[in-house]
């Protein structure tokens, strides 16, 4: 597996992917969100992945991390560049939801990993991406499956150049088929 890139690089790649993608009317109608709201959710998802990573690495509590992002990270500069507006309520729901349902989420992910692979063997960033994606697939039926999967695969591509985005796609697609047949 490859090493994750910096948060700034990940944000820049996500921003470029968002601009390049022809999201189109179908996605807007499916998610019933404006372009600005979709972008705010994309930023919230990226921030949620960072928050989950930070919680795991630093053993930080969920409320402290949510508060830190709200007080110091949103509407602030990211390594010298202004971070786009984030859907803070969505961010907080994803982070808190992952923590609340982490045992079940981890079991669902572990069932989808290749034979011989354990969740603990995965990079912490990859675990954070998978956990956030699975939370949305299972606990946010208002978010279309293809939107959640695509967003987290794009986040994976922004952090990794190796096989990880494919792992994300495979795991989330399998869980989506179980969660919303």
pLDDT score recorded for residue 81? 58
Please provide residue 54's backbone torsions phi and psi, each rounded to the nearest 5 degrees.
Answer: -60, -40
Asked if residue 81 is part of any domain, the answer here is yes
Residue 90 lies inside a defined structural domain of this protein: yes
How many angstroms separate the CA atoms of 20 and 123, rounded? 28
* Domain of residue 25, CATH code: 1.10.940.10
Residue at token pair 């989950």 = 52
Residue 80 maps to a domain: yes
pLDDT of residue 147: 94
151 to each of 45, 122, 137, 155, how far by Cα in Å? 8, 20, 12, 6
Written as tens digits, the pLDDT of the chain (181 aa) is 556 667 777 777 777 776 666 444 444 444 567 888 888 899 899 999 999 999 999 988 999 999 888 877 776 655 555 566 888 899 999 999 999 999 999 999 999 988 878 888 899 999 999 999 999 999 999 999 999 999 999 999 999 999 999 999 999 999 999 988 7
Does some domain include residue 102? yes
| pLDDT confidence of residue 155 | 95
**2 inside domain:** no
Predicted local confidence at residue 22, as pLDDT? 44
How confident is the model at residue 80, as a pLDDT? 56
- Asked if residue 39 is part of any domain, the answer here is yes
The count of domains in the chain is 1
Entry pTM: 0.81
- The pLDDT score that the predictor gives to residue 79 is 59
On whether residue 175 sits in a domain, the answer given is yes
pLDDT at residue 181 in the model: 78
Q: Note down the domain range covering 107.
A: 7-179
The predicted structure's pLDDT at residue 139 = 96
Distances (CA, A) of 75 to 12, 44, 85, 94: 16, 12, 6, 19
Asked if residue 105 belongs to a domain, the reply is yes
């Amino acid at each position: 597996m490859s090493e994750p890139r910096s948060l700034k690089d990940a944000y820049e790649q996500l921003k470029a992917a968002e601009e390049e993608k022809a999201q189109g009317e179908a996605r807007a109608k499916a998610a019933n969100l404006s372009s600005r709201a979709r972008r705010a959710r994309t930023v919230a998802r990226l921030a949620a992945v960072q928050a989950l990573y930070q919680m795991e690495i630093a053993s930080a509590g969920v409320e402290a991390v949510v508060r830190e992002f709200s007080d110091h990270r949103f509407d602030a500069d990211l390594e010298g560049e202004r971070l786009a507006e984030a859907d803070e309520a969505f961010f907080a729901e994803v982070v808190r939801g992952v923590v609340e349902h982490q045992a079940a989420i981890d079991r669902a992910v572990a069932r989808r990993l290749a034979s011989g692979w354990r969740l603990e063997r995965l990079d912490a960033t990859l675990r954070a991406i998978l956990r956030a994606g699975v939370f949305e697939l299972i606990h946010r039926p208002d978010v279309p499956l293809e939107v959640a999967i695509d967003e987290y695969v794009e986040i994976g591509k922004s952090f990794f150049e190796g096989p990880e985005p494919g792992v994300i796609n495979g795991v989330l697609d399998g869980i989506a088929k179980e969660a919303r047949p």
